[in-house]
Amino acid sequence: MPDLVIVHKNDPLAASLADQTVARLSGSFRIFREISDFDGIRDKPPVGFKPQLIVSFGGDGTLLYCSRAWGLDGTPILGVNLGSLGFLAEVEPMWFDELLDLALAGQANIDVRQALDIAVTHDHKPVTNFTVFNDAVINKGALSRIMNLKLSVAGSAFWNFRADGLILATPTGSTAYNLSAGGPVVHHSLPVVIVTPICPFTLSSRSLILPLDLELYVSIDQNAVDVHLTGDGQVYTPLSPGDLITVSRSKATLRLISNPHRQYFDALRVKLGFFHDDRTLESI
């Protein structure tokens, strides 16, 4: 019997949709159900298992959680949007049954998103590593001073940033913290990484869009204090002076079941208010 994972927020609508899905599929699938905020795990999938499908009821945060927990090996994820934005979880509840049937029949369109591997070392010794689908953010604490960060690319190009922090984003994550910090919106099909300083000290410090296959290195200033690194807003590690952060293209990919009723530019228009002119290109 194939495996299916259902992850949902701990709210009435998400729980109700999860209940309905379990009732509908329990005779055909071995179903594991989990709440994304960790309070109330019902079934814990065995280590090393590979589900056929992951269903996420919630927002982008819920989808990022289950992608990290179960989707790193390429399992398709059907993200049902019960949140506010829904750039990743792009299937509205009205379309869920249709998309679920297509997914189970192997006929759904799959959107493949690139990920970044993040590794932290200190004196050439590993500290931590993780994978992000949206972004990795170097940030300072509430009372910390502006920090100095050095970015090197493939050992041949160097930038120095004096800023409150630095965002290293995938194109998928370009509409998240990167956009709020003044970074560009980049279509998710492009193989690039976006580097955006947070509140830079000099106005000449701007975002960089770099090839995804080039390894990036960010070194933390020796005088830095109260600095931390977060991945997708869910993974946290404190940083020490002299730490080196390596950013590289991940072998893991995020495989999202796309919604045929909504296009990428529709999301920009509806969610962010882009493209206020409703005329088509043919009418201009």
Please tell us whether the domain made up of 3-109+258-272 is placed in CATH 3.40.50.10330.
yes
Residue 8 pLDDT grade (very low, low, confident, very high; cuts 50, 70, 90): confident
pLDDT at 238: 94
Q: What is the mean pLDDT of the chain?
A: 86
pLDDT at 283: 44
Overall fold of domain 115-251: Tumour Suppressor Smad4 (2.60.200)
Pick from 184, 172, 176: which is nearest to 233 by CA? 176
**Which is the catalytic residue, given 3, 37, 60, 277?**
60
Whether 22 and 33 have beta carbons less than 8 Å apart is answered as yes
Q: What is the mean pLDDT of residues 164-175?
A: 95
- Burial of residue 222, with CB atoms counted within 10 A of its CB: 0-12 exposed, 13-18 middle, 19 or more buried: exposed
Whether 40 and 12 have beta carbons less than 8 Å apart is answered as no
Q: Which residue has the tokens 């994550």?
A: 173
Pick from 46, 195, 29, 277: which is nearest to 55 by CA? 29
The model's pLDDT over 109-136, given as tens digits with 9 standing for 90+, comes to: 999 999 999 999 999 999 999 999 999 9
Query: How many whole angstroms separate alpha carbon 6 and alpha carbon 1?
Result: 16
Tokens of 245: 């952060």
Residue 280 has pLDDT above 60, yes or no: no
List the chain domain ranges.
Answer: 3-109+258-272, 115-251
The model's pLDDT over 19-47, given as tens digits with 9 standing for 90+, comes to: 999 999 988 888 888 887 644 344 556 66
| Strand, helix or coil for residue 154 | coil
Residue 69 pLDDT grade (very low, low, confident, very high; cuts 50, 70, 90): confident
Q: Which residue has the tokens 């759904």?
A: 108
| Of 2-11, 83-92, 249-258, 262-271, the least confident | 262-271
Residue 222 has pLDDT above 50, yes or no: yes
**Length of the chain, please?**
284
Residue 1 pLDDT grade (very low, low, confident, very high; cuts 50, 70, 90): low
Q: What is the mean pLDDT of residues 194-213?
A: 91
Q: If you ran DSSP here, which 8-state letter would residue 57 be given?
A: E
232 is catalytic: no
